[in-house]
């Protein structure tokens, strides 16, 4: 996920869902039978082959593939429709020449790339009838950061240097993408707005962006700069933690800013998952095993965090709700939860 992640907001879909509901039937807005559904995209290995999966309220479903290595990378809910983007390799023997695929409601809806060049989807956003996917495609020399709108690609980088697009958000008709581009010395953290790049760091230190969140007119990007976890609000950086730390996801609700990050625990020599909320830090994992956090979402007073934690043998896909962990997989095969979306349905 990511990378890759990041993690993702469903703010737009919730707003649009409310508007559409009002247009159809005002009573549906306060329907007492409305439930909160938690959707998670990821993968679980079977005989050492990654298989794309999604979970709805903890119940797992395998996404339809040809049986080659595959990953469910990102999930987005729009109304009653559940979109998942990921990739599947063209060969069982290697991950080279992966094809980006889009599933809708558990059915393969579209193959985005043809597999002649290796491609990876990192994030997904649905705005109205438009489906935006961001990721990379290899040009024979470098990875090119791209956005696909309804399957049509647009390059964010020119391909002369390595580029990556890790996260996407759409707000007010504007398309925001977070990622980076190599400048010959370091990765420069980038925020593209409608294809126009803004550098969020000077390039003196290598940096990467993993998540983007738009709240009203404010644009938040989470990532790291040379081992320091940070988020940028409208281009201004806030340090989350230093000493080998990476911010992997961000969510904003009202005046509250939530950032998930991983930090190397020098005592246990493991990566530990943590949550930063308004400058207060709490532990997600205890640091005794390696933990990777990939997504966060907030629903009223409930904080959902997803990722994986090692059991000493394999990584176990997990969800933490208000700090309490629930395993999504049984710990026999390697598995990772990569993205989360919450919907009132």
Cβ(153)–Cβ(162) below 8 Å = no
Within-domain flag for 318: yes
Does any domain span residue 1? Answer: no
Strands 324-327 and 245-253: unpaired
- Does residue 237 lie in a domain region? yes
User: What whole-number distance in Å separates Cα of residue 291 and Cα of residue 231?
Assistant: 20
pLDDT of residue 96: 76
* Cα-based torsion angle of the residue sequence 292, 338, 320, 207 in order, rounded to the nearest 10 degrees: 50
Any long-range contacts for 79-82 (C-beta under 8 Å, 24+ apart)? 79/13, 79/16, 79/17, 79/20, 80/345, 81/105, 81/126, 82/39, 82/54, 82/56, 82/106, 82/341
Q: Is residue 320 part of a domain?
A: yes
Residues in Cβ contact with 199 at an 8 Å cutoff, skipping those fewer than 6 apart: 188, 189, 190
| Token pair listed for 209 | 């962006």
Q: Is residue 330 part of a domain?
A: yes
Domain for residue 327, yes or no? yes
Q: Is residue 6 part of a domain?
A: no
Task: Tell me if 306 is assigned to some domain.
Answer: yes
Q: How far is CA 269 from the centre of its chain?
A: 26
Q: What CATH number does the domain containing 198 carry? A: 2.120.10.30
* 34 backbone dihedrals φ, ψ, rounded to 5°: -65, 135
DSSP character for 63? Answer: P
Query: Do 276 and 261 meet the contact criterion of CB atoms below 8 Å apart?
Result: yes
How many structural domains is the chain composed of?
Answer: 1
Q: What is the pLDDT along the chain (345 residues), one digit of tens a residue?
A: 333 223 343 333 333 333 333 333 333 344 667 899 999 999 999 998 999 999 999 999 999 999 999 999 999 999 999 999 999 999 887 777 899 999 999 999 999 999 999 999 999 999 999 999 999 999 999 999 999 999 999 999 999 999 999 999 999 999 999 999 999 999 999 999 999 999 999 999 999 999 999 999 999 999 999 999 999 999 999 999 998 999 999 999 999 999 999 999 999 999 999 999 999 999 999 999 999 999 999 999 999 999 999 999 999 999 999 999 999 999 999 999 999 999 998
201 is in which domain, residue-wise?
A: 11-344
In the structure encoding, which two tokens stand for residue 129, read together?
């009838």
Inter-residue contact 164 to 143 (CB < 8 Å): yes
């Amino acid at each position: 996920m990511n990378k890759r992640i990041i993690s993702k907001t469903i703010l737009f879909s919730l707003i649009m869902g409310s508007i559409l509901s009002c247009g159809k039937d005002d009573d549906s807005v306060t329907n007492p039978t409305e439930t909160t559904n938690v959707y998670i995209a990821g993968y679980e290995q079977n005989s050492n082959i990654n298989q794309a999966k999604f979970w709805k309220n903890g119940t797992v479903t395998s996404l339809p593939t040809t049986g080659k290595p595959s990953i469910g990378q990102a999930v987005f809910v729009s109304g009653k429709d559940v979109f998942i983007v990921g990739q599947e390799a063209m060969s069982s023997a290697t991950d080279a020449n992966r094809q980006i695929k889009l599933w809708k409601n558990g059915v393969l809806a579209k193959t985005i790339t043809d597999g002649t060049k290796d491609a990876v989807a990192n994030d997904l956003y649905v705005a109205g009838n438009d489906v935006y996917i961001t990721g990379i495609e290899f040009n024979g020399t470098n990875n090119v950061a791209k956005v696909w709108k309804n399957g049509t690609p647009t390059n964010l980088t020119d391909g002369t240097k390595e580029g990556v697009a890790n996260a996407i958000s759409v707000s007010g008709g504007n398309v925001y993408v977070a990622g980076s581009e190599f400048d010959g010395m370091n990765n420069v953290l980038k925020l593209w707005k409608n294809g126009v790049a803004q550098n969020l760091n000077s390039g003196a230190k290598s940096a990467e962006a993993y998540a983007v969140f738009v709240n009203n007119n404010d644009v938040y990007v989470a990532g790291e700069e040379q081992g320091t976890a940070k988020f940028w609000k409208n281009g201004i950086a806030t340090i989350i933690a230093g000493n080998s730390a990476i911010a992997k996801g961000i969510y904003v609700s009202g005046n509250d800013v939530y950032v998930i990050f991983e930090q190397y625990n020098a005592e246990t020599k493991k990566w530990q998952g943590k949550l930063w909320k308004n400058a207060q830090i709490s532990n997600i994992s205890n640091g005794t095993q390696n933990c990777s956090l990939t997504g966060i979402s907030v629903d009223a007073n409930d904080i959902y965090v997803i990722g994986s934690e090692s059991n000493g043998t394999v990584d176990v896909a997990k969800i933490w709700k208000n700090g309490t962990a629930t395993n999504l997989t049984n710990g026999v095969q390697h598995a990772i939860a990569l993205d989360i979306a919450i919907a009132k349905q």
